[in-house]
């Protein structure tokens, strides 16, 4: 963990109007939650549906994509990463720092808003809110590791991440149950499923497998990012 790198990354992510998108997305979810609470439709069904569909399967992947690829992708693109790589800082420290920054951003803009939206809509009824918050947190860590690795590997990291989230998790998930079970979203849903007694949250994956896969994918993402950063070739800007 290197505090200077962390500070520079935070400044790049939150500086000026770049952060607007990060603020707007959770804000929309909170507005939706308040709207549902005020109109009186926020029962357990609706609440878990909103937290699942909006919090876990829309807001989380989007934010993880922006934060995960954003902490390292642009620096590699414009060559600024050289100023970091030429300092005597181990590559794993750089990756770990970037990962921590991405996770902090995800916690701030996806996990906390999910918790707030859940508390606004249904309080802690049937533990749905805390369960999904933990699910979003664990999913967020795994997504962050995968997207940071993507950001190091490819210049089209955002597009590839998008294809994974939209085509693999959503499109194929609807047609092929196999693809659905092999997704970060289902694994984090499995954790949430275990933590709540509400029947609205159901996952197709067993808890031990899900936790194991989450840990493996996080470790693999971090390791891959470190290895690729060791042999990074800095191309000129497009």
Partner 1 sequence: MTTSTIHDIGYRHYDGRRLGRAYVLRSQYVHNLRAAFGLGRPARAKVMPFLLSAVMLLPAAASVAILGFTKEPNALIRYAAYAYTMQVVVAIFLATQAPVIASRELRFHSVPLYFSRPVGHLDFVLAKFGAFVTALFILLAVPVTLLYVGALVTRPDKMKPVMEVVEGENGEMVTGRVQKPDSLVEHTLHYFGGLAGCLLFALVLAAIGLVIAAFTTRRGLGVAAVIAVYMISSTIVVIVQGIAETEANNFTVSGWAGLFSPFNLVDIVQVRLLGAQLTAPAAPSGVVGGLAALAVCAALVAGSIAVLYRRFRKAGLS
Regarding 83 and contact with partner 1 (CB under 8 A), the answer is no
Among 135, 123, 164, 129, smallest CA distance to 48 is for: 129
Closest CB to partner 1 among 71 and 103? Answer: 71
Regarding 230 and contact with partner 1 (CB under 8 A), the answer is no
Contact region with partner 1 (CB under 8 A), list: 107-115, 164-172, 192-200, 211-219? 164-172
**Minimum distance from CB of 233 to partner 1 (Å)?**
14
Q: Which of 11, 41, 83, 87 binds partner 1 (CB under 8 A)?
A: 41
Closest CB to partner 1 among 28 and 207? Answer: 28
Label each residue of the chain as H, E or C.
Answer: CCHHHHHHHHHHHHCHHHHHHHHHHHHHHHHHHHHHHHHCCCCHHHHHHHHHHHHHHHHHHHHHHHHHHHCCHHHHHCCCHHHHHCCCCCHHHHHHHHHHHHHHHHHHHHHHHHHHHHHHHHCCHHHHHHHHHHHHHHHHHHHHHHHHHHHHHCCCHHHHHHHHHHHHHHHHHHHCHHHHHCCHHHHHHHHHHHHCCCCCCCCCCCHHHHHHHHHHHHHHHHHHHHHHHHCCCCCCCC
**Minimum distance from CB of 48 to partner 1 (Å)?**
12
Distance CA 231, CA 38 (A): 55
Regarding 176 and contact with partner 1 (CB under 8 A), the answer is no
Closest CB to partner 1 among 10 and 223? Answer: 10
Closest CB to partner 1 among 103 and 158? Answer: 158
Q: Which of 136, 157, 210, 214 binds partner 1 (CB under 8 A)?
A: 157
Regarding 235 and contact with partner 1 (CB under 8 A), the answer is no
| The two three-digit tokens of residue 70, written as one number | 């954003």
Regarding 70 and contact with partner 1 (CB under 8 A), the answer is yes
Among 167, 27, 47, 18, smallest CA distance to 118 is for: 47
The owner of tokens 């984090």 is: 188
Q: Which of 11, 87, 155, 202 binds partner 1 (CB under 8 A)?
A: 155
Closest CB to partner 1 among 28 and 153? Answer: 28
Closest CB to partner 1 among 168 and 204? Answer: 168
**Minimum distance from CB of 212 to partner 1 (Å)?**
29
Residues that bind partner 1 (CB under 8 A): 18, 21, 25, 28, 32, 36, 41, 43, 45-46, 49-50, 53-54, 57-58, 62, 65-66, 69-70, 73-74, 77, 155-159, 162-163, 166-167, 170-171
């Amino acid at each position: 963990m290197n505090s200077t790198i962390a500070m520079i990354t935070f400044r790049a992510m939150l500086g000026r109007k770049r952060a607007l998108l990060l603020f707007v997305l959770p804000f929309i979810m909170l507005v939706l939650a308040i709207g549902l609470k005020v109109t009186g439709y926020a029962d357990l069904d609706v609440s878990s549906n909103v937290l699942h569909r909006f919090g876990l399967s829309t807001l989380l992947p989007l934010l993880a994509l922006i934060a995960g690829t954003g902490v390292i992708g642009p620096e590699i693109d414009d060559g600024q990463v050289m100023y970091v790589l030429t300092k005597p800082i181990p590559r794993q420290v750089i990756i770990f720092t970037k990962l921590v920054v991405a996770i902090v951003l995800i916690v701030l803009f996806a996990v906390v808003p999910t918790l707030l939206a859940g508390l606004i809509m249904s309080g802690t009824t049937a533990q749905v809110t805390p369960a999904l918050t933990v699910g979003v947190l664990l999913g967020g860590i795994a997504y962050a590791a995968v997207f940071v690795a993507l950001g190091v590997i490819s210049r089209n990291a955002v597009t590839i991440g998008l294809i994974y989230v939209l085509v693999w998790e959503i499109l194929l998930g609807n047609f092929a149950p196999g693809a659905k079970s092999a997704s970060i979203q289902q694994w984090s849903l499995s954790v949430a499923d275990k933590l709540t007694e509400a029947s609205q949250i159901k996952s197709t994956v067993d808890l031990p497998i899900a936790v194991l896969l989450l840990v493996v994918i996080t470790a693999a993402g971090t390791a891959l990012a470190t290895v690729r950063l060791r042999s990074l070739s800095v191309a000129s800007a497009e």
